[in-house]
Amino acid sequence: MKIKLLVCFILLTVNTITYAMPKVLVKHQRNAKNLIEVRVINQTMKKLVCSVGIDGRKIYFRLGASQPSKWYVATDERFNYTNVSTWCDYLSLHPKYQQKNN
């Protein structure tokens, strides 16, 4: 009985976590110079804060509702999609990245 309860708790926790993350689409491609390019597309109706990391270099940016980002390009043709990491979360949860009104 305890094992069933533990399994149900784990499944419920994992299921909740997957629904908590915003839905984004990440596109990878190679440009004419054979460099990897990455684009993040927001598929929610909320503003997001995202980052794209290519081999240790991270770029943070805000992404509007249902908007694509610009293409982020690597600097070396030896990089591929495994050298790219992306992260996005709701902007309302990260006040550090919200626009400042002066």
Q: Tell me: the pLDDT tens digits for 37-93?
A: 999 999 999 999 999 998 888 999 999 999 999 999 999 989 988 999 999 999 988
Number of domains in the chain: 1
User: Is 7 within the bounds of a domain?
Assistant: no
User: Is 35 within the bounds of a domain?
Assistant: yes
User: Is 6 within the bounds of a domain?
Assistant: no
Which domain does 54 fall in, by range?
22-97
- d(Cα 17, Cα 35) in Å, to the nearest integer? 34
User: Is 43 within the bounds of a domain?
Assistant: yes
pLDDT category at 36 given cuts 50, 70, 90 is very high
| Pair of tokens at residue 77 | 């043709």
User: Is 5 within the bounds of a domain?
Assistant: no
pLDDT category at 9 given cuts 50, 70, 90 is confident
Report the CATH number that the domain containing residue 60 is assigned in CATH.
2.60.40.3230
Is 1's pLDDT higher than 90?
A: no
User: Is 91 within the bounds of a domain?
Assistant: yes
What is the pLDDT at residue 17?
53
Q: What does the pLDDT look like over 81-94, one tens digit per residue? A: 899 999 999 998 88
What is the pLDDT at residue 33?
94
CA-CA distances (angstroms) from residue 4 to 11, 15, 82, 95? 11, 16, 37, 40
DSSP 21-66: SPPEEEEEEE-TTS-EEEEEEE-SSS-EEEEEEETTEEEEEEE-TT
